Chains A and B, each alone.
Chain A
């Protein structure tokens, strides 16, 4: 009894049938649910439509089985398209990393030359990031024409925004002590970057680049839908021509490749930074 009273005093809030936190939680849940149902209604998600669609989907899945590329020539075409996808992802990531590396220093508070430049670098990265890869692809297609080159440029643009932000944050998070050590022995600002910041930074950056490469493999496999090279063009073509068995083969191919790349990158990352989390 005594103990009960003690608990009641210590957690008085929890013993009230309704307290402010409760009411707020209920209100949030109500609003969230209401918005959800409003969404279902206004976006025409009726039960009949969903059920009809699922039936149709079932028929499509039956048509997709078993996955079959058709002829060997077709298989070769798909494998080449997949290779092209990987090439786009690699080059996009590589280009963005090379360009973002110096710009990252400009956008970091502790290494920038000027606060104004830092501000503008940050905002430019935000803008680059804000535009989706598919939109970049459409823009670059206008410039260099249809094909994988536009895809590379699109990936590079959007990654530049991501890397610029991540790199500059990593530079700002770098330990100050090596920097002070080099300054105290009379090192120049170049020496500060080379011997004070870079050794801490490189493993982190490499791991971030590997992460980006993984996600870029995914992106590179869809930019073909708007005509920027890679396996995406084959995907949309097969859906238009209702070649479902080949479609399922290509989807499995994408899945297998992305999984392999994820696995490989995870291993490399582990080799570079060890068990330390990002």
Chain B
């Protein structure tokens, strides 16, 4: 008994050491490849703090919060852009959710009989969510020209992949008894989906879609970096041109909006999930 315990402990220790060594070697190797330089970091860390200092002061040297009107001088230009960003996230999420909704039933083993269809759909969804949305945006900007349209399509495509997987998991976890009931009553495939599966999964679908909307708002805010619309373009411009006070103003606007949206969607999501548990 004692011996077995000691042996188990030794094996565990050895595993831990081996794991740490492998990690250590990887970290050192990565440090070499990523050109990590502590001297560069500590020499320039002052630049970081002074950067934070500069973005929190206005042109005239005053602390930004002392004069909010001067700080947010461009609000007439920025608020519509912020609205556009939100709208992009909304339309992109909705389109993506519709795509995911269409695909998810074909990616679930319990409602689609053909293994081949399930396999192909899953690989497709995987590809859509593995390739970062900014990569899609880069390509779409060339095909659809600059503006919010390529951004929305990039968001929609990535959302289809991400939500498709989550939706399919929800469908696979659905209770199969109603499905059997529909089959017994002679229902078609569509009847199965509409009357047996959908009522069980709808609230979960909505909850995941809202979560994705949150993520897409963040995503839409930087799509402008590659020319795909929204507030990102302006943000990139002020960062590149060193309009320090504008940087902090835009960041505050974006972070504030994201936080408000997070709180609101979280409340709605709790209600949705609560409903599904109650019913």
List the interface of chain A (C-beta within 8 A of B): 32, 35-36, 38-40, 42-45, 49-50, 52-54, 56-57, 60, 83-84, 86-88, 90-91, 94, 126-127, 130-132, 134-135, 138-140, 142-145, 147-149, 151-153, 218-219, 221-222, 225-226, 229, 232, 235-236, 239, 247, 251, 254-255, 258-259, 262
Q: Are B259 and A229 in contact (CB under 8 A)?
A: no
Of the candidates B44, B132, B134, the one having the most CB atoms from chain A within 10 angstroms of its own CB is B132
A residues within 8 A CB of B47?
Answer: 142-143
B residues within 8 A CB of A259?
Answer: 126, 130
A132 and B218 in contact, given A43-B88, A152-B34, A219-B132 (Cβ under 8 angstroms): yes
Since A139-B48, A144-B40 are in contact, a sample of 12 more A-B pairs with Cβ atoms closer than 8 Å, ordered by chain A residue number, is: A39-B88, A43-B84, A43-B147, A44-B148, A56-B144, A87-B33, A135-B239, A142-B47, A148-B34, A151-B34, A152-B34, A255-B130
List, sorted by A's number, 10 A–B pairs whose CB atoms are closer than 8 Å.
Answer: A39-B90, A39-B91, A43-B229, A44-B147, A53-B140, A53-B153, A87-B30, A88-B30, A94-B27, A130-B259
Question: Which single member of A44, A130, A140 contacts B149 (CB below 8 Å)?
Answer: A44
Question: Which single member of B44, B144, B148 contacts A144 (CB below 8 Å)?
Answer: B44
Q: Are B91 and A43 in contact (CB under 8 A)?
A: yes
CB-CB nearest in chain B for A64: B139
List the interface of chain B (C-beta within 8 A of A): 23, 26-27, 29-31, 33-37, 40-41, 44-45, 47-48, 51, 84, 87-88, 90-91, 94, 126-127, 130-132, 134-135, 138-140, 142-145, 147-150, 152-153, 218, 221-222, 225-226, 229, 235-236, 239-240, 251, 254-255, 258-259
The number of inter-chain residue pairs (CB within 8 angstroms) is: 162
Question: Which single member of A49, A57, A225, A258 contacts B134 (CB below 8 Å)?
Answer: A225
Cα(A129)–Cα(B16), bound, Å: 31
CB-CB nearest in chain B for A254: B131
Identify whether the interface residues of B are mostly helix, strand, loop, or mixed: helix
A258 and B130 in contact, given A143-B44, A144-B40, A239-B139 (Cβ under 8 angstroms): yes
Q: Are A84 and B33 in contact (CB under 8 A)?
A: yes
Q: Are A32 and B135 in contact (CB under 8 A)?
A: no
Q: Are A86 and B36 in contact (CB under 8 A)?
A: no
B residues within 8 A CB of A226?
Answer: 225, 236
Top 10 A-B residue pairs of the complex, sorted by shortest distance between their CB atoms: A87-B30, A53-B144, A130-B255, A39-B91, A87-B33, A148-B34, A57-B143, A56-B143, A43-B148, A87-B34
A32 and B94 in contact, given A42-B87, A87-B30, A131-B251 (Cβ under 8 angstroms): yes
Q: Are B34 and A91 in contact (CB under 8 A)?
A: yes
Cα(A94)–Cα(B135), bound, Å: 25
Chain A nearest CB: distance from B117 CB in Å?
21
Q: Are A127 and B36 in contact (CB under 8 A)?
A: no
Of the candidates B26, B142, B218, the one having the most CB atoms from chain A within 10 angstroms of its own CB is B142
Question: Which single member of B33, B51, B90, B236 contacts A35 (CB below 8 Å)?
Answer: B90
A221 and B132 in contact, given A94-B27, A134-B225, A135-B222 (Cβ under 8 angstroms): yes
Cα(A205)–Cα(B90), bound, Å: 33
Question: Which single member of A135, A247, A254, A258 contacts B235 (CB below 8 Å)?
Answer: A135
Cα(A151)–Cα(B33), bound, Å: 12
Question: Which single member of A60, A83, A144, A229 contacts B139 (CB below 8 Å)?
Answer: A60
Cα(A236)–Cα(B138), bound, Å: 7
Q: Are B140 and A43 in contact (CB under 8 A)?
A: no
Chain B nearest CB: distance from A149 CB in Å?
5
Q: Are B222 and A134 in contact (CB under 8 A)?
A: yes
Q: Are B94 and A218 in contact (CB under 8 A)?
A: no
Q: Are A86 and B30 in contact (CB under 8 A)?
A: yes
A residues within 8 A CB of B236?
Answer: 138, 226
A residues within 8 A CB of B229?
Answer: 43
Chain B nearest CB: distance from A45 CB in Å?
5
A218 and B226 in contact, given A36-B94, A94-B27, A132-B221 (Cβ under 8 angstroms): no
Cα(A84)–Cα(B31), bound, Å: 10
Cα(A83)–Cα(B32), bound, Å: 11
Cα(A259)–Cα(B44), bound, Å: 36
Q: Are B34 and A239 in contact (CB under 8 A)?
A: no
Q: Are B258 and A130 in contact (CB under 8 A)?
A: yes
Q: Are B135 and A251 in contact (CB under 8 A)?
A: yes
Q: Are A235 and B37 in contact (CB under 8 A)?
A: no
Chain B nearest CB: distance from A42 CB in Å?
7
CB-CB nearest in chain B for A238: B138
Cα(A32)–Cα(B40), bound, Å: 51
Chain A nearest CB: distance from B262 CB in Å?
9
CB-CB nearest in chain A for B133: A222
Q: Are B222 and A132 in contact (CB under 8 A)?
A: yes
